[in-house]
Amino acid sequence: MTFKFEVETTDKSGFKARTGKVTTAHGTFETPVFMSVGTRATVKTMTPRDLIEAGTKVVLGNTYHLALRPGEKLIKKMGGLHSFMAWDGPILTDSGGFQVFSLASLRKLSENGVNFRSHINGDLVEFTPERVMEIERDLGSDIVMPLDHCIGFPCNHKDAKEAMERSIRWLERSKNVSLQDHQTLFAIVQGSGYTDLREYCAKAMVDLDLPGYAIGGLAVGEDKETMQKAILSCNAILPLDKPRYLMGVGTPEDLLMAVAQGVDMFDCVMPTRNARGGGFFTWEGPKQIRNAQYRDDPRPLDPICDSYPSKTFSRSYLHHLFSKKVEEILGLSMLTLHNLTFYNQFMAQIREAIRNGQFAEFVAQFQANYQTKDGKKQKIEAS
């Protein structure tokens, strides 16, 4: 196994932020890191060349979607996921537990696993912990996530406890399945918004002694305070010498808050999905290119962000591409490229601030300048 994680710098101002480096068979990446989401073996509208230009170091694929189409056997025949999608950097594959959770009306859950109807053609499909590991083995990703029982928010304590305990049992079964030599299995801590369940699950996962730990079951409808409480309770237990991965999160403020609490890895569809709807991120806050105010605006998307679209096109031009009577594909790809570049540069500046002992100053300056849509500021405090 070639996986390795090293902590390089820790914040000295009271935050738990740290920088590190993850080594895989397909390259290394610095942490904290944002992973671009390539659900179906592609980051929508992006080529691998675009991803490199945007500063992407790690791509995420989704086991659920890839198993249904084109199928893991075809991907294996084509040389594995790296060869299939022409991405030679690190790849993490999610198990599809969140997607199965979102298909509540189409699935039947049992101790053995999940039976569900394919959203593509209605075929009956079974996902067990062992089956998911076998699929991910064929995909050949570097970091592998196990099947877990993700539960929505709000939920009662009994249901959250049941899902958490099942996730532990499923991980024990997943751990017994052999993977390729270069592959690394992470654990996923569940427990919804209940601190006692998060702590219990984190301790159980640590006892299983895996190379990395994810915090799952968030970004499912909970408020920011609940999210932060869950992160704090997990990170108080998860080992300092192993990476922590917050799944499916989130906004720049979410990322900064979680970095402050010691999280190392992130993924979210927000920069790509928002881009396809006309949303773009700036150091002043999120904006919408379809808004009429940008029709005659000669400024770049963001004068600070060093993205190709921001250096090349005006807001006026991109507004034109997104207008209802035009709707040019170039607009989708350019806003996606910009947003991914923004996220990666945001993470790079966070890493630099931690290394330079200026993380507290970075947090204060970011919050002073960044305006959210609702005008509310998320609490980012040293603990």
What DSSP string describes 4-22?
EEEEEEE-SSS---EEEEE
Residues 317 and 257 in one domain: no
Residues 10 and 146 in one domain: yes
Residue 378 lies in a domain: no
CA 360/CA 31 separation, integer angstroms: 18
- Asked if 62 and 30 count as a contact pair (C-beta separation under 8 A), the reply is no
Residues 187 and 334 in one domain: no
Q: Give tens-digit pLDDT for 181-194.
A: 999 999 999 999 99
Q: Which positions ≥6 away from 268 have C-beta within 8 Å?
A: 34, 37, 219, 248, 249, 250
Which residues are designated catalytic?
94, 267
User: Which pLDDT does position 103 carry in this prediction?
Assistant: 66
Number of folded domains that form the chain? 2
Residues 279 and 246 in one domain: no
CA 179/CA 176 separation, integer angstroms: 9
Choose one of 231, 249, 268: the last residue of a domain: 268
Residues 257 and 343 in one domain: no
Residue 239 lies in a domain: yes
Q: Which positions ≥6 away from 274 have C-beta within 8 Å?
A: 280, 281, 286, 339
Torsion sign across C-alpha atoms 311, 313, 319, 323: negative
Residues 179 and 294 in one domain: no
Helix (H), strand (E) at residue 114: strand 114-117
User: Which pLDDT does position 186 carry in this prediction?
Assistant: 98
Residues 260 and 310 in one domain: no
Count other C-beta atoms under 10 Å from residue 348's C-beta: 15
CA 362/CA 353 separation, integer angstroms: 7
Residues 196 and 253 in one domain: yes
CA 193 to chain centre: 19
User: Which pLDDT does position 33 carry in this prediction?
Assistant: 98
What is the domain-level CATH number for residue 246?
Answer: 3.20.20.105
Count other C-beta atoms under 10 Å from residue 224's C-beta: 15
Q: How far apart are the first and last CA of the chain?
A: 35
CA 365/CA 379 separation, integer angstroms: 14
User: Which pLDDT does position 98 carry in this prediction?
Assistant: 74
Lookup: tokens for 11: 């914040």
User: Which pLDDT does position 52 carry in this prediction?
Assistant: 98
Pairing of strands 18-24, 143-144: unpaired
- Asked if 228 and 257 count as a contact pair (C-beta separation under 8 A), the reply is yes
- Asked if 14 and 382 count as a contact pair (C-beta separation under 8 A), the reply is yes
Residues 254 and 318 in one domain: no
Walking along the chain (383 residues) 10 residues at a time, the average pLDDT comes out as 93 96 98 98 98 98 95 98 98 84 74 87 90 98 96 94 97 98 98 98 98 96 95 98 97 97 98 98 98 98 97 98 96 98 98 97 96 82 73
Residue 345 lies in a domain: yes
- 27-31: strand order across its sheet: 4-10, 18-24, 27-31
Residues 261 and 281 in one domain: no
Amino acid present at 213:
Y
Domain extent for 140: 4-268
Residues 82 and 213 in one domain: yes
Choose one of 205, 235, 268: the last residue of a domain: 268
CA 242/CA 228 separation, integer angstroms: 20
Choose one of 213, 246, 268: the last residue of a domain: 268
Helix (H), strand (E) at residue 93: strand 91-94
User: Which pLDDT does position 313 carry in this prediction?
Assistant: 98
CA 70/CA 60 separation, integer angstroms: 17
- Asked if 307 and 54 count as a contact pair (C-beta separation under 8 A), the reply is yes
CA 126 to chain centre: 25
CA 283/CA 366 separation, integer angstroms: 8
Residue 374 lies in a domain: no
Three-class DSSP category at 347: helix
User: Which pLDDT does position 1 carry in this prediction?
Assistant: 64
Pairing of strands 265-267, 33-37: parallel
Q: Give tens-digit pLDDT for 22-65.
A: 999 999 999 999 999 999 999 999 999 999 999 999 999 999 99
User: Which pLDDT does position 253 carry in this prediction?
Assistant: 97
Residues 218 and 126 in one domain: yes
CA 218/CA 21 separation, integer angstroms: 25
- This prediction's pTM: 0.97
- Asked if 159 and 151 count as a contact pair (C-beta separation under 8 A), the reply is yes
